[in-house]
Amino acid sequence: MADKPIRADKASAVAELTENFRNSGATVLTEYRGLTVAQLTQLRRALGQTATYGVAKNTLAKRAAAEAGIDGLDELFTGPTALTFVSGDVVEAAKGLRDFAKANPLLVIKGGVFEGKAITAAEVTKLADLESREVLLAKLAGAMKANLSKAAAVLQAPLSKAVRTAAALQDKKREQEEQAA
């Protein structure tokens, strides 16, 4: 990128975009050509409170990504580009974009950034296919609880076996005393 001086309004826009790139857990780039304002409003609602969706000028967005230390996005900044900055659950936002793109084929997911690294549109779809954070945590908790129950049963088995052996020896001794008597 050439180091041409930029106007103050453009500099503030680049600074804001750079800050968004740095503070977001993920950023997804989309092409919105052909979507109405009502559809874009519907998309913003579908993304929820943890993601912001906005249109950005490609040259400013490229410069902001470079200033944020993100490489590999330059080829995605073609045509009309909108950026989704995700500050919360990345999977939830990716699902919202994927589902909206299925219902509105004019929205095209180009790719994005996840944890500071460029990802492809296919990888954004893979993120959307994951279960939500809450479901994954619930499954993990269930698996941990099951393993703890198994461990308790394994640790308890020798003790219960010893008790049963002692009871069997007492029964055998009692039988022997009854036979001797």
pLDDT tens track, the chain, 181 positions:
455 666 888 888 888 998 988 888 889 999 988 889 999 989 988 888 888 898 989 999 999 988 888 888 888 888 889 999 998 888 888 888 998 999 988 989 998 888 888 888 888 888 877 776 677 678 778 777 767 667 666 777 777 777 778 888 888 888 888 887 6
| Tokens matching residue 176 | 């022997």
Q: Which pLDDT does position 6 carry in this prediction?
A: 64
Strands (E), the chain: 26-31, 51-56, 81-86, 108-114, 117-120
| Tokens matching residue 39 | 């559809």
Angle between helix axes 8-23 and 58-67 (nearest 10 degrees) is 50
Q: Which pLDDT does position 179 carry in this prediction?
A: 84
Q: Which pLDDT does position 29 carry in this prediction?
A: 92
Residues 6 or more apart whose Cβ sits within 8 Å of residue 6: 14, 63
Choose among 122, 70, 77, 128: nearest CA to 99.
128
Any idea which residue has 């393993």 for tokens? 147
What's at 165, amino acid-wise? T
Whether the pTM exceeds 0.85: the reply is no
